[in-house]
Amino acid sequence: MVDVIPAPVSVVGNSSGLTRLDGNTALQALPGTEGTARWLRATVGAATGLPFPDGPDRPHRIVLGIDPGLPPEGYRLVSDAWPIRIEGGSPAGVFWGAQTFRQLLGADAFRRAPLRPERAWEVPAVAVEDGPRFRWRGLLLDVARHFMPKEGVLRYLDLMAAHKLNVFHFHLTDDQGWRIEIKRYPELTGTASWRARSKFGHRASPLWEEKPHGGYYTQDDIREIVAYAAERHIAVVPEIDVPGHSQAAIAAYPELGNTDVIDTTALRVWDNWGISSSVLAPTDTTLRFYEGVFEEVLELFPADAAEFSTFVHVGGDECRKEQWTESVTAKTRIADLGLTDEDALQSWFIGHFDAWLAARGRRLIGWDEILEGGLAEGAAVSSWRGYGGGIAAARAGHDVVMCPEQYVYLDHRQAPGEDEPVPIGFVRTLEDVYRFEPVPDGLTEAEARHVLGTQANVWTEVLEDAARVDYQTFPRLAAFAEVAWSRLPAPAERDFAGFERRMAAHYARLDALGVAYRPPAGPRPWQKRPGVPGRPIEGAPPNK
């Protein structure tokens, strides 16, 4: 077995046999594969120093092609004879085959320049047949709590591609910051993108970082990110939170808040973690404002050939309703609409944008709280509070992405003990993530088909910089990628020891990419955060 992650469906051949590449090895890109050819020359070419010239007639060449007989994202890689062939059922499949080819070349193929120009490059002589289990293989990156500059986002898209992940959930707004330029509402970046200070550690921590924090992506930054992702066959799903998690927006535009309950002009971008009680007012003013936001969002995140590029995430989670309970405006809206309570008002709010997006050829997706008060018609659900929301949505005929907090929230700590930096939540080891099963028990075959796939979420309240994001994300994202891509047996039957053996090679690839992952033996001294309080939860997570 070759040391490929995620594990392929089938590998045939003698992996000790080698096919040698050199400066005369050509690259032939058949129609539909030109993007992968550019990627190979830019990455593998840079790492190896091989020019990969065009050469349809050269005997020693790599041929990229489309085979409609393969699954859409499936691929076939044959390297036991010339020409080497990488064929996919679609351009995406060819690209995933190229990712495997890069892994077969060894860890130094993940560097940006050749270490030794005279080095011989060899690939195992094998035939690989492969394709994904799930269509949605996602990663959420929260840039609202701690901003990640554009270059860091582009780097994470490369890391996703290296692990055959294909959906980037871009969490752009929250109580603690607004990260996307909306030209018609300039205060969303002028005011809402900066907070005066940040809590250091969990919200119960007495520690503060007493300096402003913030940043945002210009519209051209967003276009660049989306285009960069598309070249890597990754769909970008933006999240604009409504009606909760909105204090930053209300701080910039006080008329969006419940002005008959609190003095919204006194609100500032929140400097603490947790759930703010400031929610959007259920008024026509608020609806029109966010329609304006979404009009620009749709232009920046166009629906294209990628399967999930039509999705827009609207949050909908953790919507505290105390202000609505006290608000005459909210009570009047409930009465005028003939609704039963504030839960139904939230459902109406989400339903409005579900219909608005659907009329423009888009699909709404939200956290499983959008089930409260009635599921918005046509909406899909990100099931984060365990499996329950996903099961309910699938049984109601709605599509689901499984991302239960207890299993694939990568901000949760990776080991017990005091060495883990700012320990949050349940212990979720590399093995725990490897044994995660996205399709819950109890669904019929028809209901299970509504599980589009799965997603790992990286929330950044206590992840103050890129190195901390790396530490929490890796190596567990490699295990998650195998769960999302590979056709693994039942969790208890999975060969974790075999996965660990392959990870020995994969750590070298992560080293070459400069990923500050958690080592198997525990954090390095500079990865610890002694004295910074977290919120560890003891015991096993609930299985529900």
pLDDT in tens, 40-54: 999 999 999 999 999
Length of the chain, please? 544
Give the H or E element holding residue 16: strand 10-21
pLDDT in tens, 178-192: 999 999 999 999 999
Q: 377 pLDDT exceeds 80? A: no
237 and 168 Cβ atoms separated by less than 8 Å: yes
pLDDT in tens, 299-332: 999 998 788 999 999 999 999 999 999 999 999 9
Q: How confident is the model at residue 379 (pLDDT cuts 50, 70, 90)?
A: confident
Going through 343-379 in order, the beta strands assigned E by DSSP cover 363-367
Q: Measured between alpha carbons, how far is 372 from 347 in angstroms, rounded to an integer?
A: 7
Q: Measured between alpha carbons, how far is 429 from 125 in angstroms, rounded to an integer?
A: 34
Q: How confident is the model at residue 1 (pLDDT cuts 50, 70, 90)?
A: low
Q: How many helices (H) and strands (E) does the chain have?
A: 18, 22
Q: Measured between alpha carbons, how far is 527 from 465 in angstroms, rounded to an integer?
A: 11
Instruction: Pick the range with the lowest mean pLDDT from 13-22, 67-76, 133-142, 509-518.
Output: 13-22
Q: Measured between alpha carbons, how far is 539 from 544 in angstroms, rounded to an integer?
A: 15
Residues paired with 139 in a beta bridge: 168, 456
64 and 33 Cβ atoms separated by less than 8 Å: yes
Q: How confident is the model at residue 16 (pLDDT cuts 50, 70, 90)?
A: low
Query: What is the mean predicted confidence (pLDDT) over 255-269?
Result: 98
DSSP per-residue string spanning 57-117: T-SSEEEEEE-TTS-TT-EEEE-SSSSEEEEESSHHHHHHHHHHHHHHH-GGGGSSS-S-T
Neighbours of 212 (CB within 10 A): 12
Residues noted as catalytic? 174, 245, 318
Query: What is the mean predicted confidence (pLDDT) over 256-261?
Result: 98
418 and 382 Cβ atoms separated by less than 8 Å: no
- In three-state secondary structure terms, 88 is strand
Neighbours of 293 (CB within 10 A): 19
| % the chain with pLDDT above 70 | 99
Q: How confident is the model at residue 544 (pLDDT cuts 50, 70, 90)?
A: low
Q: 441 pLDDT exceeds 70? A: yes
Q: Measured between alpha carbons, how far is 522 from 513 in angstroms, rounded to an integer?
A: 20
Distances (CA, A) of 260 to 281, 324, 325, 334, 346: 10, 10, 11, 16, 18
DSSP per-residue string spanning 267-292: -----S-S--S-----SHHHHHHHHH
| % the chain with pLDDT above 90 | 92
62: left (phi over 0), alpha (psi -120 to 50) or beta: beta
Q: 478 pLDDT exceeds 80? A: yes
Q: 159 pLDDT exceeds 80? A: yes
Mean pLDDT score of the chain? 96
Residue with tokens 């200070």: 197
Q: Measured between alpha carbons, how far is 471 from 247 in angstroms, rounded to an integer?
A: 29
Q: 148 pLDDT exceeds 90? A: yes
Pull the structure tokens for residue 435.
């044994």
208 and 199 Cβ atoms separated by less than 8 Å: yes
- The sign one gets for the Cα dihedral 504, 506, 509, 511 is negative
